[in-house]
């Protein structure tokens, strides 16, 4: 089984697995991204779209959200939620998105980063898609160790998927050209910020 099939199989029950207090944690994620009205936002690995309403509240009616996922099952569940027309869906792999460059003010990766096979490739592609001065937000609202343990216990295709520690994450982001790197690593909340520089020397 590959990752796409794994998440297709989870699509029907994903929302029932979410914690009751996930909403306030997702507000914290979006707040850290400093999302403004009118922003264009890419939600990588949107799944059933749990982040979308929080992003919509921030970008308001003039903003735009592209909700991307490799899993058609996850996307179908997200689409059934009836989001407004400024939310678009795309079945694609962030490692080779094929999207035009410098298009997004913000890119969010909520609970997806460990699943990228080639993290350097994914980060390079995200940097390409961000406009100069744009921001990447990588988040794990249940905490790094909790995610790593969940994947280990789940086994199969996600068994080895890990949220990297800061000493691995910072070089990955620096190598792919991000600046202003900040990491919050609390027991129940993990967040990484990186900015695409306004000017590239």
Ligand X SMILES: C[S@@+](CC[C@H](N)C(=O)[O-])C[C@H]1O[C@@H](n2cnc3c(N)ncnc32)[C@H](O)[C@@H]1O
Residue 147 engages ligand X in binding (rule: CB under 6 A): no
Number of residues that bind ligand X (CB under 6 A): 21
Residue 76 engages ligand X in binding (rule: CB under 6 A): no
* Calpha distance 96→47 (Å, rounded): 18
Q: What is the DSSP string of 180-201?
A: EEEEEEETTEEEEEEE--SS--
Is the CB of 21 or the CB of 61 nearer to ligand X? 21
Tokens for 120, please give them. Answer: 């350097």
Least distance CB 154 / ligand X (angstroms): 10
Q: Which of residues 77-116 bind ligand X (CB under 6 A)?
A: 93-95, 110-112, 115-116
* Calpha distance 134→195 (Å, rounded): 6
**List of residues 6+ apart from 14 with CB closer than 8 A:** 47, 48, 74, 77
Q: Which of residues 25-64 bind ligand X (CB under 6 A)?
A: 44-47, 50-51
Is the CB of 76 or the CB of 86 nearer to ligand X? 76
In the complex, which residues of this chain contact ligand X (CB under 6 A)?
A: 3, 7, 44-47, 50-51, 68-71, 74, 93-95, 110-112, 115-116
């Amino acid at each position: 089984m590959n990752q796409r099939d794994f998440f297709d199989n989870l699509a029907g029950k994903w929302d029932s697995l979410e914690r009751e207090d996930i909403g306030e944690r997702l507000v914290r994620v979006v707040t850290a991204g400093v999302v403004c009205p009118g922003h264009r936002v890419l939600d990588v690995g949107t799944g059933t779209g749990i982040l979308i309403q929080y992003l919509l509240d921030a970008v308001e009616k003039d903003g735009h959200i592209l909700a991307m996922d490799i899993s058609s099952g996850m996307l179908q569940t997200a689409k059934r939620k009836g989001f407004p027309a400024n939310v678009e869906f795309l079945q694609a792999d962030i490692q080779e998105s094929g999207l035009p460059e410098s298009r997004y003010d913000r890119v969010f990766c909520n609970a997806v980063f460990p699943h990228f096979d080639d993290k350097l490739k994914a980060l390079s592609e995200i940097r390409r898609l961000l406009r100069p001065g744009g921001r990447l937000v990588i988040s794990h609202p249940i905490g790094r160790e909790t995610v790593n343990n969940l994947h280990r216990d789940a086994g199969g295709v996600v068994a080895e998927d890990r949220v990297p520690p800061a000493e691995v994450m910072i070089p990955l982001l620096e190598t792919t050209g991000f600046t202003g790197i900040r990491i919050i690593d609390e027991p129940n909340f993990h967040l990484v910020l990186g900015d695409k520089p306004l000017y590239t020397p």
